[in-house]
Structure 1
Amino acid sequence: MQACASEDVGLADPQAMVQADAAWSAMLRLGPAEGRLPLGQAVIYVATAPKSNAVYHGMNQATAVARANPTLMPPLHMMNAPTDYQRSVGRKAGYLYDHDFERAFSGQQRLPDELRELRLYEPSTQGYEAKTLAPRVAHWRALRGEIQPQAQEDEGCPVDQRMEQKAEDRALLKAVPQVSEGVMINPSKLVQSSSSVIPAINLPRAPTAPRRPCARRTAPRARRRRPPRALRQPGPKPPGAKPPSRRRHKLLDPHNSSQTWVDVRPDA
């Protein structure tokens, strides 16, 4: 039923997948006796929902394009550049962050040049796709390829000025002298900060606790070395010491049926 909700209903009614998953969970919790009711509810919902296989065809087309063009490279500005050499060859140069632009969309090209005008998903004329997704897709496709204006903050500070302020704060943080351990400093809240959004305030220095004296010994204790086993001599026994206990061992002679008991000293 989940496969039918995704392949046959698709985005014409996205709640079909939710109903199928909820019925599956209810069946596992309630068992067949009571779980048949949520299962029937999901079956009726999926059966009567509007149908669309646009997602199915879009995925098949995307797989075919990827197999037919395995060597196509994305634009350089879309490639990561963690090293200086990669940055020197132009990777990530000119990359535009979508959230810095209006409607969180920059309009910058993301696909390879050979696939610039590629369209994989075409909404159907059924249900949720026709009412909601089709206008959305048409709206974003109309904006694709044209760089959009940058977004403005509530205070009227443009994004580039905010980035410059962050760079000034980082440079100011490097110039701040050492402070006590455990003190967290926000560079935008220092007295020298020139930010027009966050006022400058004084940060009190955290009180430092007195250090406790070290409990370790000043000089290491001399290590006692035991003499070799061959040079060890048995020491004198203290007065009143008990003699070593005797243990009786039974010696069995396989050729003699008689049994002999002997006393064996532990130090023998």
Structure 2
Amino acid sequence: MMNSVHDILLHYVDWWKNKQKALQAEFHYSVLNREHYALFCSKPTTIYKPPRKIKEWSEKVAVKTYENLGIKSKRVKIELSGYMADHATWSMVKDAQFLGIAYFTIDMSSQLSKISNTPVSLTIGESIMRSRSHQYEAADTIILKPKTKITAKLIVKQHHVTYPFMIEWGLQGYIQIIVTKQNGEIQQSFHHIAAILQKYETSYTKVTNKEATIFTRGTCRVVLSSGFYIRIKEEALYNPSFSREYNLSSERPKENFRKLLHE
């Protein structure tokens, strides 16, 4: 099974050796004094696909309890503050490894600007996480009935999203193959990379005319906050059977989820 461009080239060189009925063969990406034939890669580009999975979640970031032991209603000001981190985790699958590249640079998507704008460096089979903590503050005033207590929770809504992404870059140039015949004769030839890859059908290569493109795929799992509110639980101090729950809406963060997801 050929899991990389390097595997394809090894297979192709072996095929060429057998075709030439040679004893041995070797190949090179560049040749001294013939650098214009050298095989080289263009600058990689990161392409994020539309989100594949979207799940909604809620997390408690702060809680306070208020009591009214008196016989008259009183006005209570609720103030809550807490922190929640947005984070993203990138991972890559084994795809088009080439020229001994150990690390790939993954550009940041505009959808992830709330977390980071700096590219991440990642190798095949590795995962890396970036996170950024945000503070949430909420305040509201309610009337607290006599002999009751309330538990106020600051709830942050989250969206769990999976973005497939792909790193692609173009290949141009030739490889040099040197074969040794049975009579000791040494022959060299140059083979265009697009012509080679066109002979192989893989999920990580594409050939259009004389241009070759290779791909490395991965996924980015993201947790983004999308708003927050106060959750109230009201209970009678001397009547455990009485309780009710309701929400108090609060201001949303400046960047809402819809903008982050689709901008």
Q: Which range, TM-score by smaller chain?
A: under 0.3
Q: Higher helix proportion, which one?
A: 1
Which one has the largest radius of gyration? 1
Q: Report the TM-score, using the length of structure 1 for normalisation.
A: 0.17
Scaled by the length of structure 2, what TM-score is found?
0.17
More strand by share: 2
